[in-house]
Structure 1
Amino acid sequence: MIKLIAIDLDGTLLNNEKKITDRTKDALKKAKNQGVKIVLCTGRPLLGMVQYLDELNLREDEDYGITYNGGLVQRTKTGEVISEITMSKKDIESLYELSQTLEVPMNFIDLERVYSPAPPNGKPSLYGEIMKALPFVTSDIRSLPEDIKINKALFCIDQPILDAAINKIPCSFFENYTMMKSRPVLLEIMNKNVDKGKGLQALGQHLGIKQEEMMTFGDEENDLAMIEYAGWGVAMGNAIDKVKDAAQFITLTNEENGVAYAVEKFVINK
């Protein structure tokens, strides 16, 4: 029996116009009314998905969200932290040095703001075109507080430049951090113990819900861990091959109400 449904946003819950269709809203409302937990699971901060939480009525006392790709689990109504895994100033210094070597811009984020250290000449970050929920502040890595907690770092630049840079990242960084693309132009970098699967595990432990009682929906590399973790991982029809290969079911695309189709089939009309 499915007790929790975790859903990625871009390319999954949202269509290509960044909207939730009426059919999808109706299916998730019915599932919630049956007692199923509906959890949005994203790389965004909580403030970056408030609009969608409100549309789905997911800001009540016992509603939760998984943000920063699993690094943060929160109550959506109050922002109360259930689980949090962060990076240190030392991590950010190391990653910034890497970004300068690769000649790609880096941003990093805490709960309140996006930090923008000096980019390589002529290669500004594109992240401002994606992140609208948090303010951006110019920062000097050396002046950061020693006890700062960073939720994630990222490289955001045109896809050909980013892909070429990723191919040059030393293996040690992949061993020491979780690195994954969430969009063609965006590489996200987090604590090694962060991924959406681990965030889902932390929430499941808090709620007393087992992994075999979970259904997850995703389309991109950063969704792979939760697709593999859940008892019923669902890949969107527009998902990358890695996600489809790991899933128990491949639904329709995000343009064809893929989330609604699977929820209707396996949860509402089972």
Structure 2
Amino acid sequence: MIKLVAIDLDGTLLNEEKKITTETQTVLKRAKEQGVKVVLCSGRPLLGIAHYLDELGLRESGDFAITYNGGLVQKTDTGKILSEKILTKSDVVSLYALSQELGVPMNFIDLEKVYSPAPPAGKPSLYGNIMKALPFVSVSMAALPDDLKINKAIFCTDQQALDQAIEQIPEFITEKYTIMKSRPFLLEILNKEVDKGKGLQALGRHLGIRADEMMTLGDQENDLAMIRYAGLGVAMGNAIDDVKAAAQFITRTNTEDGVAYAVEKFVLNQ
């Protein structure tokens, strides 16, 4: 029996206009009314998904969200953190040096703001085009406080340049951190203990819900861990091939209410 449904946002819950359709809203609210935990699971911060939580009625006591790709598990009504995995100042300094070597811009993010160190000449970050929830602040790497707690670092640039940079990332870096694409032009670098599957595991322990009582829905590389973790992993019809290969079921696309279709099939009719 499915007791928890975890849903990615972009390319999954949201259509191409970045909206949740009326049909999908109705289905998810029905699932919640039946006692199923509906959990948004995103690379965004809590502030970045607040309006979607409001639309779905997921800001009440007992509602949770997984943010920063599993780096944070939070109560949505208060923002209280149940689980948190961070990067340190040393991590950020090392990753910034790498970004300069690779010739790509880097930003890093905490709970309140996006830090913007100097990018390589002529290669500004594109992250401001998609991150609207948090303010951007320019920062000198030499002036960072020692007790810095960062939730993730990102490389955001045009896809061709990013893909070329990814090929040059040293093996010791890929072994030290969790590194994943959440969009074709956005690479996220997180604490090694972070992915959406581990975030779900932490939430499941808190709620007393097992992996085989969970359904997950996603479309991109950063959704793979939760697709593999859950008893029922569902790939969107528009998902990348790796996600489809890992899933137990492929639903309709995000422009065809694929989330609503899967929730009706496996949750409302269970």
**TM-score, normalized by length of structure 2?**
0.99
Counterpart amino acid of residue 107 in structure 1: N
2:155 alignment counterpart: 155
Pairing of 1:204-219 with structure 2 (within 5 A): 204-219=204-219
2:134 alignment counterpart: 134
2:97 alignment counterpart: 97
Q: Deviations over 1:50-80 (max 9, x none)?
A: 0100000000011000000000000001000
Equivalenced residues, count: 270
2:88 alignment counterpart: 88
Report deviation, 1:141: 1.2
Pairing of 1:1-270 with structure 2 (within 5 A): 1-270=1-270
Q: Deviations over 1:138-191 (max 9, x none)?
A: 001121110110000000000000001101111111000000000011000000
Please identify runs of 4+ aligned residues in structure 1 that moved more than 4 A: none
SS at match of 1:123: coil
**In structure 2, C-alpha distance between the alignment counterparts of 1:78 and 1:141, rounded to whole Å:** 32
**In structure 1, C-alpha distance between the alignment counterparts of 2:217 and 2:171, rounded to whole Å:** 29
**In structure 1, C-alpha distance between the alignment counterparts of 2:206 and 2:141, rounded to whole Å:** 35
Report deviation, 1:269: 1.9
Report deviation, 1:12: 0.1
Counterpart amino acid of residue 249 in structure 1: F
**In structure 1, C-alpha distance between the alignment counterparts of 2:8 and 2:111, rounded to whole Å:** 20
**In structure 2, C-alpha distance between the alignment counterparts of 1:197 and 1:179, rounded to whole Å:** 14
**In structure 1, C-alpha distance between the alignment counterparts of 2:162 and 2:75, rounded to whole Å:** 34
**In structure 2, C-alpha distance between the alignment counterparts of 1:138 and 1:151, rounded to whole Å:** 17
Report deviation, 1:88: 0.3
Identity of aligned residues (%): 72
Task: List gaps (5 residues or longer) in structure 1.
Answer: none
**In structure 1, C-alpha distance between the alignment counterparts of 2:119 and 2:185, rounded to whole Å:** 16
**In structure 2, C-alpha distance between the alignment counterparts of 1:162 and 1:266, rounded to whole Å:** 38
**In structure 2, C-alpha distance between the alignment counterparts of 1:267 and 1:4, rounded to whole Å:** 9
**In structure 2, C-alpha distance between the alignment counterparts of 1:8 and 1:77, rounded to whole Å:** 19
SS at match of 1:5: strand
Q: CA RMSD in A?
A: 0.4
Q: Deviations over 1:62-103 (max 9, x none)?
A: 100000000000000100000000010000010000000001
**In structure 2, C-alpha distance between the alignment counterparts of 1:185 and 1:262, rounded to whole Å:** 28
**In structure 1, C-alpha distance between the alignment counterparts of 2:188 and 2:4, rounded to whole Å:** 26
Counterpart amino acid of residue 73 in structure 1: V
Report deviation, 1:42: 0.2
Report deviation, 1:198: 0.2
